[in-house]
Amino acid sequence: MRRTALLTAASGAVVLGVLGTTAAHAEGKGDIRVTRTVVNNGGNVIVGVHDVKTFPIAFTVKDKSGVKGLSHASVFNTKNGYGPVDLTANSCHKSNSTTSVCTATFQAHPSWFKSSVDIDPNDLAGTWQVNATVQAKDGDYWIHDSLAHFDFKRASTLTTDAIPEPVTKGGKLTVKGKLARANWNDLKYHGYTRQDVKLQFKKTGASSYATVKTVKTSSTGTLSTTVTATASGTWRWNFSGTHTTMAITSAGDTVKLR
């Protein structure tokens, strides 16, 4: 089951309901179609532990008579069918006589997740799909429950600390850090364990970073490795992200040679 947001065509009011997960299908009447769907301006939807995440979904809709509007929009996780988000706004802007771009705006409140589902709320992270119903001015309509897919991810944090500072040329430098990600059970960040994270270095005066090695996080999400200091420059950690957790690059820590 999933908690989903429905938009009534007549009043534009938001109504919350619970719907069962259904197989993908499309049906309707006439020539109206959604020709393009863009979620969050093409990016992942990243949710932390406190801030409300607002994200738009833009539908390009076409019909020979013109577009009346978007009468339904919902999103949910494809694996478990849950979508505890609110649809807060809907608007359509006419591009020409046959085409409009209709935008549905959703909000995700991390504080809602635990009370809205009967599974581990962290299992909300993953692939989500978009459903919509659109209407034309001549009475045509089109219903589609799999217009697009997007990744709904847990936010992450990553730190870097290189010691000692400064360091003797040819001496040993220890670079530490910690990778953590949002936990939607207790609304805190917890260490992300057993993940590969790249240690990167940019020599003073250089324009880009180079990867020095890859280190796996500990059982508590910490990172630690030792390197030989050959030049002054800036060290940082880089995490490529996973299907459920955002990619992140730490702030750099600059170390000078003695």
Q: Residues 1-37: pLDDT tens digits?
A: 333 333 322 222 232 323 334 455 789 999 999 999 9
CATH class, domain 156-255, is mainly beta
Q: Where in the chain is the domain with CATH 2.60.40.730?
A: 156-255
Q: Residues 151-183: pLDDT tens digits?
A: 999 999 999 999 999 999 999 999 999 999 999
Q: What's the rounded Cα separation, in Å, for the pair 172 and 214? A: 18
**Average pLDDT over every residue of 81-101:** 97
pLDDT at 24: 57
Q: Where in the chain is the domain with CATH 2.60.40.10?
A: 2-154
Encoded amino acid at 64, one letter? K
Task: Tell me the residue ranges of DSSP E strands in the chain.
Answer: 2-7, 14-19, 26-29, 33-39, 45-47, 53-62, 67-77, 86-94, 99-108, 126-136, 141-154, 156-163, 172-183, 188-191, 196-203, 210-216, 222-228, 233-239, 248-249, 253-255
Identify the residue whose tokens are 């989903």.
4
Is the pLDDT confidence value at 136 over 70?
Answer: yes
Q: Are 132 and 73 in contact (CB under 8 A)?
A: yes
Using left for φ > 0, alpha for ψ between -120 and 50, and beta otherwise, residue 78 falls in alpha
What token pair was written down for 169?
């040329």
pTM above 0.85, yes or no: yes
Domain at 2-154, CATH homologous superfamily? Immunoglobulins (2.60.40.10)
pLDDT at 19: 36
Percentage of the chain beyond pLDDT 90 is: 90
pLDDT at 26: 85
∠ CA 58-62-66, nearest 5°, is: 115
**Average pLDDT over every residue of 223-235:** 98
